[in-house]
Structure 1
Amino acid sequence: MKEFDLIVLGGGRATSLAKNAAKKGKKVAVIEKSALGGTCPNRGCVPSKLLIGYAEVSRAIQEAKRHYIDATIKKIDVEKIFEKTNHYISKIDENYQKKFNENVTVFRGEGKFVSNKVIEVNGEQLTAKQIVIATGTRPMKPPHEKAWSSDDIFPLKKVPKSIAIVGSGFIAVELANFFDAVGIKTKLLVRSGELLKNEDGEIQAVFQEEFSKNVDVAFNTTIKETHYNESKQVFELILENKERQTTPHSCEALLYATGRESNADLLNLEATNIELDKRGFIKRNEFFETTAKDVYVVGDAGGEYMLQHAAAYEVNHMEKYLYEDKKEPLKFKYMPHAVFCEPEIASVGITEEKAKEEGIAYVSSVTNWLASAKAESTKLKYPITKFIINPNNYEILGCHLVGPQSATMMHQVLAVMHLDNDIRHLKEMLYIHPALSEALLPAAVNSVKEVEKYKEAK
């Protein structure tokens, strides 16, 4: 039995906790069955955004006509794009390993609990005063053995000439946008009639209209039959729409991006007192404590906010809780997210649909960006900002953007929400003219007007 001060089960975002604990003189074990760094830098948000960078350049050339520029693309070297992206990924594990000092021992293998405080990996048993579970999630398994999940994109060994993608969430639309933009024949298959259904309705409608101008989307469509032709190395699909009409479709690659599931079932938690919720994620309280003493869970493994920036924030709080005697529970003031696509979305807080559902008092405003010369220069008419405001105290309940650089623009709103959540600060502050962020000024002005109307009506 090897003894440690801390075991971190999962070598993703929680490696920063392991690194910093080791700097404090703690003896730390990190257990990881794959590459250090976890999903985000190896198979998720980082490499996918590298791909999107290429897509943005391609789209800009394709859409140059709206700037009265006649431009054509002679060639897109997709093989080179993936070669560069794969090379980036290949260095991640090594770079994470270099961050550890001699107090960290990395165990390469799949860790399973033997009891509450004992984990077995590669035939060795480890125990520690404290254990942090940070095992994340995995993509839902595709129903066909030759089909891909998002984990199979990075590193990609063979670039297809055509691809069908099943899904309607952010992973599906981001990857469909990339493949289509770089000239790979792409078809997005959506079971329902909408994309990004969890976004605010007005933002979602704009996104869907603009996205569908570029990408071939088959709504209300399922795959009735799947056959992989080995000799031709293509999928031969029979697609079925809601009227039960069928059409054939062939493609070299078939990707399922239909959601993610907990890895908790791989940990042998039956040997412990650790409990799961109805969705199969590990139960925890406001201090990240599981139902086993001195065993904690952070990040996606807890099933709360399955976003990299949320996991990083939680791990930072976990370190303060364990080693700086700061015992306050972590309560997120807000949880922003973005969809890095064409068009781009950024969102924080409540949607109007949710406000109505929960009976929350609110006013809303939708404002285009055209008051900003920088926004006008994009020659795009669709970008909008939507604010949802508490009319009793000017609190920003939600903000939703669709348009270029939405994720960057959102940080101005986030700063106000973090420090003193009052929409009037965005109305009264001084903006650089004519920066893109200046589009937030008329949106804030309109929101304040809506609050004043509400107060007058009362």
Structure 2
Amino acid sequence: MKTYDTIIIGGGRASSLAKKIGALGKKVALIEKSSLGGTCANRGCVPSKLLIGYADVIRNIQASERHYISSKIENINLKEIFEDNNSFINSVDESYKSRLNENVDLYRGVGYFLSNNVVEINNEKLTSEKIIIATGTSPKEPLFEGAWTSDDIFPLKKIPSSISIVGSGFIACELANVFNALGIKTKLLVRGDELLSNEDEDIQETFKKEFSQNIDIEFNTTVKDAKYKDDSFEIILENKDKSIKKYKSEALLYAIGRESNAKSLKLENTDIEIDDRGYIKRDDFFETKAKGVYVVGDAAGEYMLQHAAAYEMNYLYKILFEDKKEPLNFKYMPHAVFTSPEIASVGLTQKQAQEKNLDFVVSKTSWKASAKAQAMKIDYPFTKFIVDKNSYEILGCHMIGPQSSTMIHQVLTVMYIDNDIRHLKEMLYIHPALSETLLPAAINTIKDIEKRK
């Protein structure tokens, strides 16, 4: 049996944690069943956003008429686009491996627990007083044989001429936008009548209206059957009124959520507990019920976002090796949806604020006052603030429009340092930068508050 200072199960974002611990001169065992870098670098955030870069260029060309410019896309070289994307994915593992130092031993395979402090990998037993679980999640399995998940897109081995995507969340919407923009016949299949149901209702409404202009969407629809035959799927759809529709699609992709990878860990051999969703339970310091065993990132099932996982890794390092005494408190957790239109959000939705019986005001402000926004010649972008009526604290901020994911960081800065919307009113903005749209949004919100006092 080999003894290590730290064992890490999962080589995604936690590979950086292994490097940091190894730099302290401590021996680390890093266990990864596939490519280092995890879902984000190999099958999620990064490769999908690289594809979205192509989609954004195409969308801008397609929209040139509103700027009185006639343009034509003569060719979209799908082969080059996906080869470029696949080339990046194929380089990820070696890139992450090269960052590890001599104190990190990399084990390839599925690691699992024999007891609270013993892990087996490839018939070899490893032990440590500190074990970190960072095993992430996997896409929920498709209901029909031959259908894809997002894991099958990256790298994409065969470019389809048509694709049907099942789902209504951000992964489904981002991929539908990409494939459609690239000229691949795309249909989005949605069980209900909503898209991005976790977003604020005003954001949902605008997004659905704008997104539906580009994407063929079947709402209130379920896939009753799908059989792969002669290089395509024969799909049978059932609408909520029980009507049936049949059609063919070369590819069928399910983007219906993700689930815990905890089953592979054989946690029944330990004191570690899981919740009713299958995610690993932990305390405020990331520790499980097994002393010295910690869980970070998506494996805990809390904030399943890459930036949250990275933050947790850094914080756990401080707890274990810098004697950090305070628990991590994510007071605000931002996110974005990188599609067309783009969305960014932080804090409570209006519905959530109402459910909490908070005393708040809501202000929804168009970006039209900004010359920079006017130059885009689109009408839908807006910023929505939900603000405490008494303290001026920003409870939630929701944006829809180009560069929303960048613009919201200005709001985040105020929220993290001294959460008072009046700072957004008092600060000096570059005119007419797009961020200046936050000024009338803040002014309108403060006016609404003062009217109610």
TM-score higher than 0.5:
yes
Cα separation, 2, equivalents of 1:89 and 1:224: 34
**TM-superposition CA deviations, 1:125-168 (whole Å, max 9, x none):** 11112000000000001112200001100000100000000000
**Corresponding residue of 1:149:** 149
**Corresponding residue of 1:322:** 320
Query: In the alignment, does 2:49 pair up with 1:40?
Result: no
Query: In the alignment, does 2:115 pair up with 1:115?
Result: yes
Equivalent position SS for 1:213 = coil
Cα separation, 2, equivalents of 1:431 and 1:131: 48
Query: In the alignment, does 2:210 pair up with 1:210?
Result: yes
Cα separation, 2, equivalents of 1:296 and 1:41: 23
Cα separation, 2, equivalents of 1:228 and 1:265: 30
**Corresponding residue of 1:312:** 310
How far is 1:396 from its partner? 0.3
**Corresponding residue of 2:63:** 63
Cα separation, 2, equivalents of 1:320 and 1:23: 14
C-alpha RMSD of matched pairs (Å): 0.6
Query: In the alignment, does 2:219 pair up with 1:219?
Result: yes
Cα separation, 2, equivalents of 1:60 and 1:436: 17
How far is 1:358 from its partner? 1.7
Cα separation, 2, equivalents of 1:297 and 1:369: 42
Which structure 2 residues correspond to residues 69-80 of structure 1 after superposition, within 5 A?
69-80=69-80
How far is 1:329 from its partner? 0.2
**Corresponding residue of 1:83:** 83
Which structure 2 residues correspond to residues 178-327 of structure 1 after superposition, within 5 A?
178-229=178-229, 232-327=230-325
**TM-superposition CA deviations, 1:40-66 (whole Å, max 9, x none):** 000000000000000000111111111
**Corresponding residue of 2:2:** 2
Cα separation, 2, equivalents of 1:145 and 1:131: 37
For structure 2, list consecutive stretches of 5 or more residues without a partner in the other structure: none
The 8 Å contact of residues 141 and 149 in structure 2, kept in 1 or not, is answered as yes
**Corresponding residue of 1:163:** 163
Equivalent position SS for 2:225 = strand
How far is 1:331 from its partner? 0.2
**TM-superposition CA deviations, 1:88-126 (whole Å, max 9, x none):** 111111111111111000000000111111110101011
Cα separation, 2, equivalents of 1:265 and 1:450: 51
**TM-superposition CA deviations, 1:161-198 (whole Å, max 9, x none):** 00000000000000000000010000000000010011
Equivalent position SS for 1:29 = strand
Question: How many residues get paired?
Answer: 453
How far is 1:225 from its partner? 1.5
The one-letter code sitting in structure 2 at the alignment partner of 1:348 is: V
Cα separation, 1, equivalents of 2:318 and 2:89: 30
How far is 1:444 from its partner? 0.5
Question: Scaled by the length of structure 1, what TM-score is found?
Answer: 0.98
**Corresponding residue of 1:335:** 333
**TM-superposition CA deviations, 1:177-224 (whole Å, max 9, x none):** 000001000000000001001100001100010000000010001111
Identity %: 64
**Corresponding residue of 1:414:** 412
Cα separation, 2, equivalents of 1:224 and 1:89: 34
Cα separation, 2, equivalents of 1:17 and 1:322: 11
Cα separation, 2, equivalents of 1:68 and 1:244: 45
For structure 1, list consecutive stretches of 5 or more residues without a partner in the other structure: none
- Please list every run of at least 4 consecutive aligned residues from structure 1 whose deviation after the TM superposition is greater than 6 angstroms: none
Equivalent position SS for 1:214 = coil
**Corresponding residue of 1:356:** 354
**Corresponding residue of 1:26:** 26
Cα separation, 1, equivalents of 2:247 and 2:356: 43
**Corresponding residue of 1:447:** 445
**TM-superposition CA deviations, 1:295-318 (whole Å, max 9, x none):** 000000000000000000000000
Cα separation, 1, equivalents of 2:182 and 2:67: 21
The one-letter code sitting in structure 2 at the alignment partner of 1:22 is: G
The one-letter code sitting in structure 2 at the alignment partner of 1:88 is: F
How far is 1:14 from its partner? 1.1
Query: In the alignment, does 2:381 pair up with 1:383?
Result: yes
The one-letter code sitting in structure 2 at the alignment partner of 1:246 is: I
Cα separation, 1, equivalents of 2:274 and 2:358: 31
**TM-superposition CA deviations, 1:389-436 (whole Å, max 9, x none):** 001110000000000000000000000001000000001100000001
Question: Scaled by the length of structure 2, what TM-score is found?
Answer: 0.99
